[in-house]
Amino acid sequence: MNTNYLISSVSGQKLYDTVKDLPIIDYHCHLSPKEIFEDKLFDNIGEMWLGGDHYKWRLMRASGVDEEYVTGSASWKDKFIKYAESIEFAAGNPLYYWTKMELEQFFGVTEQLTAANAEEIWEKANAVICEKKLSPRKLILDSKVEFIATTDDICDDLSWHAKIKDDPTFAPVVTPSFRCDNLLLIRKPDYADYVKKLSGVVGFEIQSMDDLEKAICQRLDFFKANGCIFTDVGIEFFPDHIGTKEEADQVFKAALKGEAVCNEAYYGFLGYLDVFLGCEYKKRGLTMQMHLAVKRNANSVLAAKLGADVGVDCVGDTISGNALISILDAINVKTGLPKTILYTLNPSMATQLSSIAGCFSNVILGAAWWFCDHVRGNKEQIRVIAETTTLNTFLGMLTDSRSFLSYARHDFFRRLLCDVVGEWVDRGEFTAEAAEKVVAGCCYGNVKKIVG
């Protein structure tokens, strides 16, 4: 792909040449470790692109495509053609750029996908899949991926991660991330069943907060022993106060009985457990990720029919900055903060979160997340971080994806980063030498220090 694609500054193009071939560290994604281990060849580009990719599902629905061609029983070819019809007019949407970049990077297709050329590109891409024997591992290796952190429920046995680690033929490191959403969602109807599942995993009955804390620590030690470096949470609720352990215990026991839990009690429980988790992460040297301001399952009809993660989540309301500060400060007072990455789905919070992060030496603002990871959103995130803290500690891009073709997103980010920083160099605001070090850190070096 042209060096000047998405890069308008002369210095930006020079900077891009210094980082374009750096390895990829994908420190947050939703890839399946089972699929990585089994390494089955893909049948067609429709399956590769549209199987589980809720980004594309959302665009197709927004374009008026019938659900039969989104998550229904239509053929992969028909679904691919419907996606082509949708993407043709989606300039500005990050998918428009990612589609172009993925087609060129993996299939050698240089033209933009449209309804008119969809069948031709379908045939060409499928021929490449067959010829190159494209599979999950092949795509990972071809993309120069060095490290992958998947997202894993705390009950997961991590057996697929163990199999990947024991396979001497595959060099990239694939580690689990400790995702605690299901632990915190105590008002879900099946919460008691989830706790029973966790009890079976840890080998003792969980009936109180003492039991729950013991179980959490056991699972953290297990994840750590299996290579875990990152933790994560991405629920739509954020506590406005920190309850006591006694209060949290009462709420937990009520939830196990299926009793209703009011907002005040629930938020106190969340506050207590958020602090507890942060302290335990610190003790184990784990990096804490917090995905904030998201609304889950807004379309209850589709969510009930298809389940979670089907493209009906959206930007949530802003959370209280004071509430976040209370959680971070409480952890800091008790044990010191673990390395912490804050993400917001509501872009209006970016400056506030970055300024909050700057109050603590171990906290940073993360990459533009999900509905913010378009051209403008990435550039704005870069500028916010630079203006309120420093780009020299920014960890850069992650795929946050279930698709093995999504590594083009790292190239997308590198181009936008170099364009912004290159403009500063061209205007004489930043030295070329310093700029080169900063972009290298954002694209690879900074997160490399975390994963080792």
Three-state secondary structure readout of 262-274: CHHHHHHHHHHHH
CATH number for the domain spanning 86: value is 1.10.2020.10
Are 194 and 337 in the same domain?
yes
pLDDT for residue 330: 98
User: Is position 126 within any domain?
Assistant: yes
Are 351 and 254 in the same domain?
yes
User: Is position 224 within any domain?
Assistant: no
Q: Is the dihedral of CA 322, 365, 217, 177 positive or negative?
A: positive
Q: What is the pLDDT of residues 105-117, one digit of tens each?
A: 999 999 999 999 9
Are 193 and 340 in the same domain?
yes
Neighbours of 407 (CB within 10 A): 25
User: Is position 225 within any domain?
Assistant: no
Q: What is the pLDDT of residues 282-325, one digit of tens each?
A: 999 999 999 999 999 999 999 999 999 999 999 999 999 999 99
Are 34 and 56 in the same domain?
no
Where among 363, 388, 413 does a domain terminate? 388
User: Is position 158 within any domain?
Assistant: yes
8 Å CB contact between 334 and 357 = no
CATH number for the domain spanning 280: value is 3.20.20.140
Mean pLDDT for the chain overall: 97
Beta strand 24-26 with 145-149 is: parallel
pLDDT for residue 307: 93
Share of the chain above pLDDT 70, in %: 100
User: Is position 99 within any domain?
Assistant: yes
pLDDT for residue 111: 94
Q: How confident is the model at residue 369 (pLDDT cuts 50, 70, 90)?
A: very high
Share of the chain above pLDDT 90, in %: 99
Are 262 and 330 in the same domain?
yes
Maximum Cα interatomic distance, the chain, rounded to a whole number of Å? 65
Are 82 and 98 in the same domain?
yes
Number of folded domains that form the chain: 3
CA distances from 338 to 225, 289, 360, 405 (A): 18, 10, 10, 32
Q: Is the pLDDT at 2 greater than 90, yes or no?
A: no
Q: Write out the two tokens for 43.
A: 């049948």
Are 208 and 341 in the same domain?
yes
Q: Where are the beta strands (DSSP E) in 304-352?
A: 314-315, 340-344
Q: What angle do CA 283, 284, 286 make, to 5 degrees?
A: 115
User: Is position 416 within any domain?
Assistant: yes
Residues in CB range of 371: below 8 A, 6 or more apart: 314, 315, 345, 377
Q: Which amino acid is at 295?
A: K
Are 213 and 341 in the same domain?
yes
Q: What is the pLDDT of residues 383-441, one digit of tens each?
A: 999 999 999 999 999 999 999 999 999 999 999 999 999 999 999 999 999 999 999 99
Per the document, the length of the chain is: 452
pLDDT for residue 266: 98
Are 318 and 209 in the same domain?
yes
Q: Is the pLDDT at 1 greater than 90, yes or no?
A: no
pLDDT for residue 84: 98
Are 315 and 374 in the same domain?
yes
Where among 388, 419, 434 does a domain terminate? 388
For residue 85, give the nearest of 130, 116, 61, 121 by alpha carbon.
Answer: 116
Cα–Cα distance for residue pair 243/238, rounded to 1 Å:
13
Residues in CB range of 46: below 8 A, 6 or more apart: 75, 76, 77, 79, 80, 122
Domain of residue 30 covers 1-40+135-171+395-452
User: Is position 369 within any domain?
Assistant: yes
pLDDT for residue 3: 80
Q: What is the pLDDT of residues 160-195, one digit of tens each?
A: 999 999 999 999 999 999 999 999 999 999 999 999
Are 362 and 266 in the same domain?
yes
Rg (CA), the chain: 22
User: Is position 342 within any domain?
Assistant: yes
Q: How confident is the model at residue 126 (pLDDT cuts 50, 70, 90)?
A: very high
Are 238 and 363 in the same domain?
yes
Q: Name the helix (H) or strand (E) containing 355.
A: helix 350-357
Q: Is the pLDDT at 211 greater than 90, yes or no?
A: yes
Q: What is the pLDDT of residues 37-83, one digit of tens each?
A: 999 999 999 999 999 899 999 999 999 999 999 999 999 999 999 99
Q: Average the pLDDT over 251-260 and give the result.
A: 97
